[in-house]
Each structure stands twice: as C-alpha cells, then as structure tokens.
Amino acid sequence: MNRTTLFLTITGVLLAVVLLFSFFLSYKEPKGFVVTATFYPLAYVAQEVGGEYITVFTITPPGAEAHHYEPTPRDISRITRSHLFLMNGGGLDPWADRLLSSLQESGIPVVVMADRFTTQDPHFWIDPLFMKEYVEAVRDQLVLLDSKNKIYYQENAQKLLLALNNLHKEYVIGLSTCSKRDAIVMHEAFGYIEARYGLVFHSLAGISPEAEPSPRRIADLADLAREHNISIIFFETQVSPRVATTIAKEVGAETRLLHPIESLSKQEKAEGHSYISLMQKNLQELRKALECE
C-alpha cells in the first residue's frame, strides 16, 4: 500500500465514522404519542391540543396541493407506525382512503372528519365554527389514547375553541358592512365562508383546483367581474396565479391572495403563520375586496 492509498483509506474510514455519528445525532425518537395528519389544518389542531405530549407529522409537504398529493413509501411507513391517524375525507385526501382497511387491521385509530358532516364540500376547516368539530374530534381521540393527561388536552382544546369563537365574531363584524358581496376565487374552497357570512363566490374550478381551466370559463368569469364591478381577483398559493392574472388584466382588476389553508408554505411557517393568523389575513383581504367600512 503506497502513501496515497493509505491516506485515502484513512480519510474514507474517518468520513464513514463521521457520517454514521451525524446520522445517530440527527435521528430523534419521536416524543410521546405519534399523530399523523394528512394535511395542515388537522396537524395544526393536533399540535395545539396535544402540545408537549405528542409528535405530529404532516403528510402533505409545505406548499404542496392537498387534493392531488400522492404519498411516498416513507409517508406510508410513518402512518403505519403512528398511534393516531387524522384525515379529512370527502375527497380532499383521497389517497388516505386506500389505507383505511390496513390501518383498521393494525388497530390504529383513524379520525375521518367528513364522517362528522352531512354536506358534500370537504373544505370544512375554512369555517371557524366547523373547525371546532376538528378540535373536538382530535381532543376526544387524544383523551382516549392517553387518559392520564386528559385535563391537559381538554384545557388546550378549550383555548382553541375559544379562539375559534372569537375568529367567527371577527368575521361577523368584519363582513357586516360591505358594499359588495361578490368575489372571484380559484377553486371552491370557500363555500362555507359564503354560506356562513352571506357572500357570493364565483369560482374558476370545482372542489379541487385545476391547472388548465377552459377559455370559456375564463371568459365567463371576466364577464361576471365586469357585471359585479369586481376589482380584486383572488388567487391561491397552491395554484399558479396565471389564470387570476389573465382575468384581472382583462377587466382591469388587481389580484390578491385568498388562502385556502390546505397547506402552509415554508415561508409562511418561518413567518410564524398559523391557521388563525391566515384566517385573519383572509378576512382583511375580503374586507378590502368587498369594500367593507
């Protein structure tokens, strides 16, 4: 063995040792009960209610679009190793339906939010009062799973329920004095806001966002914008803003973000945003678009 080979061998061995160590250092055993949620709103609720006694994993990655996400093998293994699985159902996270029977076999409790509602549109969380159902469902499961920390979960849930009541009040007051009622949105994610607060949203796509809406639909919405004197077209984070910009240009309107809160981007996370703060931001955007006093 000459010197160079010896040197390379030693360097190689050292590198392997360092890599192995850093792997062990970076691997952290999840703390307490492991809860896996298909998407952000459920993960948010679990984290708020479960606090320090649980570790929450969100399957839909930051900024990804929930409706069309396909889980990786790593996601599946994470789900099958958790103590509780939370999904929305109703077609929002259709991939999770395919896991239900095997989860049932392995005895992992599953919460399917859509089972608790009678309406078709799966975007329940966008209504602060419907979001309370999410809190109650998660709280009840955590209490079942870990009854010795029952009081802790109940108190956390109570705080969040109160915050949601306050959010609802902000919406009622904030949207009570608007000169317009019509808005244009990208997909039917805000139907419960319309129903709850008496607004009319015209949407480009249906229940799930589309990449390429028909030129006919775009033209119809442009006509509608003119008819209702709409000066702001809402786009969404998970969908390209191109279509909203096209309509806005055609009618001389502005584009603004209305967040469906299906997932948070890395930047929104870094800025400390949460369900509540994004809902408040949405309210400000709506007030501006609908010209509320």
Q: Spell out the long-range contacts of 223-226 with Cβ–Cβ below 8 A and sequence spacing 24 or more.
A: 224/182, 224/184, 225/184, 225/251, 225/253, 226/251
Q: Which is nearer to Zn ion, 56 or 189 (CB)?
A: 189
User: How does DSSP classify residue 91?
Assistant: T
Smallest gap from Cβ 31 to Zn ion, in A, equals 31
Span near Zn ion by CB under 5 A; candidates 135-143, 151-159, 168-176, 186-194: 186-194
Q: Which of residues 214-253 bind Zn ion (CB under 5 A)?
A: none
- Of all helices (H) and strands (E), which one includes residue 287? helix 275-289
Distance in angstroms (rounded) separating the CA atoms of residues 138 and 113 = 10
Contacts of Zn ion in 264-293 (CB under 5 A): none
| Edge-to-edge strands, sheet with 232-235 | 200-203, 182-185, 232-235, 254-257
Q: Which is nearer to Zn ion, 189 or 264 (CB)?
A: 189
Closest CB to Zn ion belongs to which residue? 189
Minimum CB separation of residue 192 from Zn ion in Å reads 12
CB of 251 or CB of 258, closer to Zn ion:
258
**Binding residue (CB under 5 A) for Zn ion from 59, 86, 157, 189:** 189
| E-strand stretches of 223-288 | 232-235, 254-257
Distance CA 38, CA 262 (A): 10
* 68 or 81: CB nearest Zn ion: 68
User: Which one of 71-79, 113-121, 137-145, 185-193 is the stretch in contact with Zn ion (CB under 5 A)?
Assistant: 185-193
CB of 267 to Zn ion, least distance (A): 20
Asked if residue 142 lies in contact with residue 155, where contact means CB atoms within 8 angstroms, the answer is no
Four-residue CA torsion sign, 29, 34, 40, 44: negative
Of 14-22, 110-118, 139-147, 187-195: span binding Zn ion (CB under 5 A): 187-195
CA distances (Å), 272 to each of 58, 184, 269, 275, in order? Answer: 17, 28, 5, 10
Q: Minimum CB separation from Zn ion for residue 262, in Å?
A: 5
Nearer to Zn ion, 75 or 93 (CB): 93
Q: Which residues bind Zn ion (CB under 5 A)?
A: 189
